[in-house]
């Protein structure tokens, strides 16, 4: 049996809307989205500096995040907007959005509720090369089955 591949849908460009504040429009114009309409976004806990995760955003996700203050990403596997915490309750509130010097990556300073990783860990970066081996450096803080109802 051949494994079923998830449908691939390209992110839709955001329609022009006069409701966007000038600062939001300026940031959206400065972002260099890739050929798929995506930009890498690193989420970092605003007060501790802990790097939580890397995800992707399209124009709609960036605009929604700036408008609502709740972080929204683009799910490549689902081909849809993904509002962080909509299933698990582990929400990210935006404190500040930064754009790198090339305009092709975002840094999201967030206030993370609970864990950021679907494995139940605070950070997705829980593995490290230590003494020539890949080691887990953080244990789960929450049961993924309880977070996602699996």
| Domains of the chain by residue range | 22-114
Which architecture characterizes domain 22-114 according to CATH? Roll (3.10)
Q: What Rg, from alpha-carbon coordinates, does the chain have?
A: 17
Quick one: tokens of 146?
Answer: 């309880």
Question: What pTM, to 2 d.p., does this model score?
Answer: 0.81
pLDDT tens digits, 11-45: 454 444 446 788 899 999 999 999 999 999 999 99
Alpha-carbon gap, residue 21 to 35, rounded angstroms? 26
The CA-based diameter of the chain, rounded to the nearest angstrom, is 55
Alpha-carbon gap, residue 59 to 65, rounded angstroms? 10
Q: How far is CA 137 from CA 14, 133, 145, 147, in A?
A: 40, 12, 21, 21
Is the CB of residue 49 less than 8 Å from the CB of residue 75? no
pLDDT tens digits, 39-88: 999 999 999 999 999 999 999 999 999 999 999 999 999 999 999 999 88
Report which secondary-structure segment, H or E, holds 46.
Answer: none
Is the CB of residue 52 less than 8 Å from the CB of residue 112? yes
């Amino acid at each position: 049996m051949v494994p079923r591949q998830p449908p691939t849908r390209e992110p839709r460009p955001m329609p022009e809307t006069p409701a966007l504040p000038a600062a939001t429009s300026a940031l959206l114009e400065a972002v260099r989205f890739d050929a798929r309409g995506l930009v890498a976004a690193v989420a970092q806990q605003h007060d501790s500096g802990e790097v939580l995760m890397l995800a992707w955003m399209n124009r709609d996700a960036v605009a929604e995040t700036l408008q609502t203050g709740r972080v929204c990403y683009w799910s490549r596997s689902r081909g849809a907007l993904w509002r962080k915490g909509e299933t698990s309750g582990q929400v990210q509130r935006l404190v500040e959005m930064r754009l790198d010097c090339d305009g092709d990556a975002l840094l999201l300073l967030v206030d993370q509720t609970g864990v950021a990783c679907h494995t139940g860990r605070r950070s997705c970066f829980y593995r490290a090369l230590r003494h020539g081996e890949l080691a887990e450096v953080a244990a789960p803080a929450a049961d993924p089955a309880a977070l996602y109802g699996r």
